[in-house]
Structure 1
């Protein structure tokens, strides 16, 4: 995960909510939004805001105009677990179901118990002490990676540990995808030996993977790539 720069709530979404309230005499809930034209517009905004990667695993989303490879994720769940949260905490979650700051775009996972991940695996889990929003500055310091693609919680941080486990972000498939992405960067970006010793080029490459490209897209698994490049070239950069 990396920090998502949340923008202001889209004007069309604000207008839809106020229009719904005026027409129906009550504030809308998420079920009122689902399967509407506004839902499609909102999902498009979220995918674009995130640079076309999942808010959790950073896999590519939005590969087609239908956006059928992702859905809208509520970081604070719409249906919180009343067995683990207080009534007051549940109210906070339920009241955030149409808050733009609480909405992200997530991949669809795999929908199988052993390999499912991201929002489907997370389901209704939420912990007010352990869950750090993808829009928080803290998110960038929670996670690290091994060259084999495995995600780790830096310094055994309890927040990072809980989130990677509940989101199941170390499935075999995800680890292999991250490892392949990093290997491809080494092969394609550093295909000439002299580049391996060029501090400026190395730093520029690391910086580039922290930015969206000209089409407004991040590279899939960009956080893992940047972290592992820093680890891989640590001796060169510290010399």
Structure 2
């Protein structure tokens, strides 16, 4: 779950919210499309929860997620800070295969990609099998990962495992190349970390937090 820094909300959403009887369900299509583009831009075209890529032509592949659900927080249904961009989460498939907003439904989360103190990025760890878990073995966080959002579904674990392996192999190769040259190796780690933390053409790499976690851990040990 990559930390999200919210941009200025679209003017069209602000104007819609000012209308009498405005609700999320009666947002004009053009306003919803602009909203989606804003959400994608600030999130670097990855899902707010699982970090999979959301394609450029977002509408068929994206949902506007209400962090605090509409069912219980009607007053926040048009609050821009409550709106996130989520993948479709295997909507229409069996429940055990659903993820993210589709799996979450009206459940309440405490882990929030907008949080900065602490950053949501500091709450998670990843192992070589792509499994995601609480870095402090917090049962509440693990429940949200596994039950509420189903972020350890096998296909997501496989995707994260691939990122873990790619980064691990690059580090191993560089470690051999810079043997006995610790400053060069540390410089490489920092450069790799910068790549995974940064957007390229407005996009983060899918599952980027796996690499960020692994590289940060390596830097601390060097």
Q: Given the two structures, how large is their TM-score scaled by the length of structure 2?
A: 0.87
What's 1:194 paired with?
Answer: 177
Q: 2:126 aligns with which of 139, 145, 148?
A: 145
- Is the partner of 1:203 in helix, strand or coil? helix
Cα deviation digits, residues 190-237 of structure 1 (max 9, x gap): 655315861111122113211112x01111111111112334x36xx5
Q: 1:122 aligns with which of 88, 91, 104?
A: 104
Could you say what the CA RMSD is over the residues aligned between the two structures, in angstroms? 2.0
Alpha-carbon offset, residue 156 of structure 1: 1.6
- Is the partner of 1:220 in helix, strand or coil? coil
1:28 to 2:22 alignment = yes
What's 1:40 paired with?
Answer: 33
What's 1:216 paired with?
Answer: 202
Alpha-carbon offset, residue 143 of structure 1: 1.0
1:69 to 2:29 alignment = no
Compared CA separation, residues 76 and 147, structure 1 to 2 (3 A):
same
Query: Distance between the aligned counterparts of 2:138 and 2:173, measured in 1?
Result: 36
Query: Distance between the aligned counterparts of 2:177 and 2:204, measured in 1?
Result: 27
1:12 to 2:5 alignment = no
Aligned residues: 212
Q: Which runs of 5+ in 2 are unaligned?
A: none
Q: Given the two structures, how large is their TM-score scaled by the length of structure 1?
A: 0.81
- Is the partner of 1:206 in helix, strand or coil? helix
Is the Cα contact below 8 Å between 2:125 and 2:132 reproduced in 1? yes
1:161 to 2:161 alignment = no
Compared CA separation, residues 226 and 9, structure 1 to 2 (3 A):
same
Alpha-carbon offset, residue 49 of structure 1: 0.9
Query: Distance between the aligned counterparts of 2:123 and 2:140, measured in 1?
Result: 7
What's 1:175 paired with?
Answer: 157
Compared CA separation, residues 69 and 195, structure 1 to 2 (3 A):
farther
Where has structure 1 moved over 4 Å in runs of 4 or more?
187-192
